[in-house]
């Protein structure tokens, strides 16, 4: 078979908001090339990616192609990109083309067999927490790609259910294939924890959140719950408070509002913003935390939950969307709309070491169930089904 994979979410300077999709695409391609030496792969990168950066994907059964671009593109109608993109794809005579995200749009004119992975249905399930532009675009592209695809890969049963509910796509067209977990999260980091914590000015025991700072992650309610937790701790400990809340991740839509909330709640000295955290720093950052909290209003998969589990970091999670499915019984679940319930869960974890320990082993075993090689093998079977 000749298999095409749209890898424009990797190494693309304009796709910073697709960190999760980029990681999925990179790991999927890496493991497909590891297990499959028979089929031919054509990997399509963004035109801005340097050739030296894609050498790691080079092997005898791989062809690297760069998605087309013209210096005159901004002066030409949108149809120009459609025509040029279609011609580039058709030229390769692919047996199947895999778009690793519904939002990496394949030209309408492309008529070959196609697989699309759907990671996120938040634009339908929690539309009020997305910007109008993002919500409208994502709904339109998801509808188009779902109808165009011959097969759809959903990264969780939750996403599959939403595809059926919101896009009216039959379950026979959709297959659930869980993403894997990078093995480095099970290993000790070469970076010392003290070096990483020092870099971010983390000086106390800390509770960790990791993800893009935006409304869908429920940051405002997390700050409210942390304020309630602080008040309870100070009352109990004669005015002392020994915790910081570390918000790790890049700032997203409306994130500037969190600074005012922090000021209003008198948390200025208690909250740390790290910004985007590079890969090598993640393990010590997780491992150093007292526990991890993810009060999201929606998650299509929730990779950071598994990363926490693998680093033996107990977790408090929302009881919505895919999170109970991915975490199983290995986390403490809360209603994300109830700041008091979240505060009580934080207080419970902070004061009960035995409770935290009880979740650590469960989390480690749960994380071991998610393997990239398994993901690659199941995805390869989807390709073969379209031969």
Q: Does residue 76 or residue 376 have the better pLDDT?
A: 376
110-136: pLDDT as tens digits: 999 999 999 999 999 999 988 999 899
The Cα–Cα gap between 330 and 332 comes to: 7
Q: Do 242 and 379 reside in the same domain of the chain?
A: no
Q: Average pLDDT over the chain, rounded to whole?
A: 91
- Report whether pLDDT(167) > 70: yes
What is the average pLDDT across 25-53?
91
Whether 73 and 90 have beta carbons less than 8 Å apart is answered as no
pLDDT band at 253 (very low <50, low <70, confident <90, very high): confident
If pLDDT is split at 50, 70 and 90, which confidence band does 108 have? Answer: confident
- Residues 276 and 319 reside in one and the same domain: yes
- Judge whether residue 74 has pLDDT over 90: no
The token pair at 204 is 């106390």
Q: Would the pLDDT of 68 be above 90?
A: no
Q: What are residue 94's phi and psi, to 5 degrees?
A: -80, 145
The confidence band for 105, taking pLDDT boundaries of 50, 70 and 90, is confident
Sequence-ordered list of residues with C-beta below 8 angstroms from that of 59, at least 6 positions apart, any chain? 33
Same domain, 363 and 253: yes
H or E stretch including 211? Answer: none
pLDDT value of position 16:
44
Based on the structure, what is the number of domains in the chain? 2
Q: Same structural domain for residues 242 and 317?
A: yes
Q: Is the pLDDT of residue 19 over 80?
A: no
Q: Which of the four pLDDT bands, split at 50, 70 and 90, describes residue 52? A: confident
Nearest CA-CA partner of 147 in 163, 131, 127: 163
* Run of H or E including 368: none
As given in the structure block, the two tokens for residue 384 are: 């073969």
- pLDDT bucket at 17, cuts 50 / 70 / 90: very low
The token duo for 286 is: 């997780």
Lowest mean pLDDT across 19-23, 37-41, 50-54, 368-372 = 50-54
Shortest CA distance to 159 belongs to which of 144, 171, 145, 141? Answer: 171
Shared domain for 57 and 174, answered yes or no, is yes
CATH of the domain at 172: 3.40.50.2000
Confidence at residue 180, expressed as pLDDT on a 0 to 100 scale: 97
Q: Which two tokens stand for residue 16?
A: 């910073």
Predicted confidence (pLDDT) at residue 259 exceeds the cutoff of 60: yes
Q: What are the φ/ψ torsions at residue 98 (nearest 5 degrees)?
A: -110, 115
In this prediction, residue 80 carries a pLDDT of 55
Query: Does 36 share its domain with 172?
Result: yes
What is the per-residue pLDDT across 298-352, written as a single tens digit (0 to 9) for each?
999 999 999 999 999 999 999 999 999 999 999 999 999 999 999 999 999 999 9
Is the model's pLDDT at 15 over the cut of 90? no
In angstroms, rounded to a whole number, what is the distance separating the alpha carbons of residues 29 and 151?
Answer: 18
Write down how long the chain is: 387
What's the pLDDT at 6? 93
C-beta separation of 370 from 172 below 8 A: no
Question: What is the per-residue DSSP string for 260-300?
Answer: HHHHHTT-TTTEEEEES--HHHHHHHHHHSSEEEE--S--S
Please check the confidence at residue 75 and state whether its pLDDT lies above 50: no
Confidence tier at 54 by pLDDT (50, 70, 90):
confident
Would the pLDDT of 82 be above 80? no
Say yes or no: 244 and 377 in one domain.
no
Of 147, 127, 104, 135, the residue nearest 9 (C-alpha): 104
Q: How is 104-167 classified by DSSP, letter by letter? A: SPPPTT--S-EEEEE---HHHHSGGGS-HHHHHHHHHHHHHHHHH-SEEEESSHHHHHHHHHHH
**pLDDT number for residue 103:** 86
**Are 356 and 378 in a shared domain?**
no
62 with 37, same domain? Answer: yes
Residue 11: left (phi > 0), alpha (psi -120 to 50), or beta? left
pLDDT at 77: 52
Average pLDDT (256-273) is 95
Same domain? For 265 and 334 the reply is yes
Per-residue pLDDT, averaged over 131-155, amounts to 94
Task: Tell me the Cα Rg of the chain.
Answer: 22
102 and 242 assigned to the same domain: no
Provide mean pLDDT across the span 214-238. 96
Domain of residue 64 covers 2-180+371-385
At 13, is the pLDDT very low, low, confident or very high (cuts 50, 70, 90)?
Answer: very low
Same-domain pairing of 24 and 35: yes
Q: Could you tell me the CA-to-CA distances from 145 to 97, 102, 114, 333 in Å, in that order? A: 12, 6, 9, 33
Strand, helix or coil at 206?
A: strand
Residue 297, pLDDT above cutoff 50: yes
Confidence label for 79 from pLDDT (cuts 50, 70 and 90) = low
- Using a 10 angstrom Cβ sphere, with 0-12 exposed, 13-18 middle and 19 or more buried, the burial of residue 324 is middle
d(CA 16, CA 152): 24
What's the predicted TM-score (pTM) here?
0.92
Identify the pLDDT of residue 140.
93
């Amino acid at each position: 078979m000749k298999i095409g994979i749209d890898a424009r979410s990797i190494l693309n300077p304009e796709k910073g908001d697709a960190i999760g999709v980029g990681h999925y695409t990179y790991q999927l391609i890496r493991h497909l090339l590891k297990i499959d030496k028979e089929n031919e792969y054509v990997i399509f990168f963004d035109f801005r990616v340097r050739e030296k950066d894609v050498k790691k994907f080079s092997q005898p059964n791989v062809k690297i192609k760069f998605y087309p671009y013209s210096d005159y593109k901004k002066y030409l109608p949108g149809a120009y990109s459609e025509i040029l993109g279609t011609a580039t794809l058709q030229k390769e005579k692919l047996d199947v083309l895999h778009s690793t995200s519904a939002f990496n749009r394949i030209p309408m004119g492309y008529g070959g067999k196609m697989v699309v992975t759907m990671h996120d249905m938040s634009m339908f399930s929690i539309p009020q927490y997305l910007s109008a532009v993002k919500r409208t675009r994502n709904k339109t592209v998801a509808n188009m790609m779902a109808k165009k695809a011959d097969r759809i890969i959903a990264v969780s049963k939750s996403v599959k259910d939403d595809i059926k509910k919101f896009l009216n796509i039959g379950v026979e067209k959709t297959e659930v294939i869980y993403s894997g977990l990078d093995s480095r999260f099970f290993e000790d980091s070469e970076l010392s924890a003290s070096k990483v914590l020092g870099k971010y000015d983390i000086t106390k025991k800390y509770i960790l959140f990791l993800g893009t700072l935006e409304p869908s992650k429920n940051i405002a309610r997390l700050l409210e719950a942390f304020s309630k937790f602080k008040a309870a701790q100070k009352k109990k400990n004669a005015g002392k408070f020994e915790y910081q809340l570390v918000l790790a991740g890049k700032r997203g839509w409306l994130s500037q509002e969190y600074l005012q909330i922090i000021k209003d709640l008198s948390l200025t000295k208690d909250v740390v913003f790290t910004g985007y955290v590079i890969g090598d720093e993640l393990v010590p950052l997780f491992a150093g935390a007292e526990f991890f909290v993810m009060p999201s209003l929606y998650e299509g998969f929730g990779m950071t939950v598994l990363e926490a589990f693998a680093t033996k970091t107990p977790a408090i999670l929302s009881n919505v969307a895919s999170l109970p499915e991915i975490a199983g019984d290995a986390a403490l679940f809360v209603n994300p709309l109830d700041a008091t319930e979240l505060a009580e869960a934080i207080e419970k974890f902070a004061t009960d070491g035995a409770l935290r320990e009880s979740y650590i082993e469960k989390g480690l075993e749960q994380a071991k169930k998610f393997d990239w090689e398994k993901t690659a093998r199941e995805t390869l079977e989807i390709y073969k089904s379209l031969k």
